Amino acid sequence: MKSIDIRDFADDTRDIGSTRYYEYYTAEAAQRVIAETDMLERIGKGEVVMLTTGDEHWDWMTECNIGFARPIMKRINADFGAGALDLLKMAGRNVSNDIVAFRRKLKANAPPEWSKPQGMLIPDINTQLMLSKPWEFNLYVERRNKAMFVGLFGTDPKDYWWGRIYIKGEEYKRGDCIPCKIGKDALLKVNRVYIRQGGDEYSSLTFYVHKGAKITSMGETITLKKAVRFWAKLGDVNDIRCRFNMVTVRSDG
């Protein structure tokens, strides 16, 4: 993954204590990123590109909205097709649902891009899988992710009932997310599958990640001392590369 520092293109910044917040919300900022960085060149080569604010802690304080993201996504779609949209990542505690919806719209209107033939596998409850490469996903502030936040950051479990938590002195509210990475060979077990028509923004899978898994977030890596339950959005789940325990895969034959 190639990180591109976009601090110089911010529409606005705010200093709160020792932390600087970066805000991106205009097409003008987007056009500067397109013109003054090698983002398009790298995406054209098939590289994953992360727009970042340079410092790992600051990344969680970044806010990007659709006014900034739309021109970038439209350009990538026009130059390389809808499939290339997945190569663009934006670090930030608040990457709005409008951005997710616009990416989905571009893909829905794009010509089909058929994959190579492959087996179809929809996991049932208790299906086990082992990561064959590290998996990066967004961990959302919500009470069902309480155990993961407590395990990673030692947050106060009581805070989740009030819809906000504190990590390293910073407040995170319901809907904010923290990028995380679970290491290769971690064992996960499916605990819940939620997909329904008309509620695609809530499509998600819930897992147990087993004791001993290594998880990295906000510059720190911890080893889980016990199994932890958490959920991730379907788009992130589709990035998993893994091996399935076929004994646990459902077969009605």
pLDDT band, residue 129 (cuts 50/70/90): very high
Please tell me the predicted confidence (pLDDT) of residue 59: 53
Q: Taking a C-beta distance cutoff of 8 angstroms, is the pair 181, 135 a contact?
A: yes
Average pLDDT, the chain: 86
pLDDT band, residue 96 (cuts 50/70/90): low
Summarised one tens digit per residue, pLDDT across range 51-94 is 887 655 445 556 778 899 999 999 999 999 998 998 888 765 55
Q: Taking a C-beta distance cutoff of 8 angstroms, is the pair 248, 133 a contact?
A: no
Number of H helices, E strands in the chain: 7, 18
pLDDT mean over 38-59:
80
Please tell me the predicted confidence (pLDDT) of residue 61: 55
Highest mean pLDDT: which range of 110-114, 149-153, 197-201: 149-153
Summarised one tens digit per residue, pLDDT across range 10-28 is 999 877 666 677 888 899 9
For 48, how many CA atoms within 13 A lie in the half-sphere containing its CB?
8
Domain spans, the chain: 2-108, 128-248
pLDDT band, residue 132 (cuts 50/70/90): very high
Q: Which of 171, 172, 248 is CA-nearest to residue 208?
A: 248
Please tell me the predicted confidence (pLDDT) of residue 86: 85
Q: Taking a C-beta distance cutoff of 8 angstroms, is the pair 68, 11 a contact?
A: yes
Q: Which of 251, 252, 250 is CA-nearest to residue 124?
A: 250
Please tell me the predicted confidence (pLDDT) of residue 208: 97
pLDDT above 90 covers what percent of the chain? Answer: 48
Summarised one tens digit per residue, pLDDT across range 194-224 is 998 877 778 999 999 999 999 999 888 999 9
pTM score, whole prediction: 0.68
Q: Which of 197, 181, 99, 188 is CA-nearest to residue 138?
A: 181
Choose between 166 and 210: higher pLDDT: 210
Q: Give the containing element (helix H, strand E) for 90.
A: strand 88-90
pLDDT mean over 99-112:
86
